[in-house]
Amino acid sequence: MTEGRVKVNGQVVRELGSKVDPKEDVVTIDDKEFTLNDAPTYLMLYKPAGYLSTMRDPHNRKTVAELVSISQHPGLFPVGRLDADTTGLLLFTTDGDLAQRLLHPSFEKEKSYFARVKGTPTQEELAALKKGVALEDGMTAPAKVRLVKTPSSEKESAWLAAVGPAKGGDSIVELVIHEGKKHQVKRMLEAVGHPVLALFRPTFGPLELTNIEEGKWRYLSSEEIDTLREEVKRQ
Q: Which amino acid is located at 117 in the chain?
A: V
Q: How far is the CB of 83 from ligand URA (least distance, A)?
A: 4
Q: How far is the CB of 195 from ligand URA (least distance, A)?
A: 11
Q: In what order do the strands lie in the sheet with 6-8?
A: 11-12, 6-8, 27-29, 32-33
**Among residues 82 and 98, whose Cβ is nearest to ligand URA?**
82
Distance CA 105, CA 232 (A): 13
Active site annotation includes 226: no
Residues engaged in binding ligand URA (CB under 6 A) = 82-83, 86, 183-186, 199
**Among residues 13 and 143, whose Cβ is nearest to ligand URA?**
143
**Among residues 27 and 185, whose Cβ is nearest to ligand URA?**
185
Q: Identify the active-site residue in 83, 85, 95, 97.
A: 83
Distance CA 51, CA 65 (A): 9
- Nearest-CA neighbor of 120 among 161, 155, 167? 167
The 10 Å Cβ neighbour count of residue 162 is 19
Q: How far is the CB of 188 from ligand URA (least distance, A)?
A: 8
- Go through 102-127 and write b for each residue having 16 or more CB atoms within 10 A of its CB, e for each that does not: beeeeebbebbbbbbbeeebeeebbe
Q: How far is the CB of 186 from ligand URA (least distance, A)?
A: 3
Distance CA 40, CA 42 (A): 7
**Among residues 182 and 216, whose Cβ is nearest to ligand URA?**
182
Helix (H, G, I), strand (E, B) or coil at 156: helix
Active site residues: 83
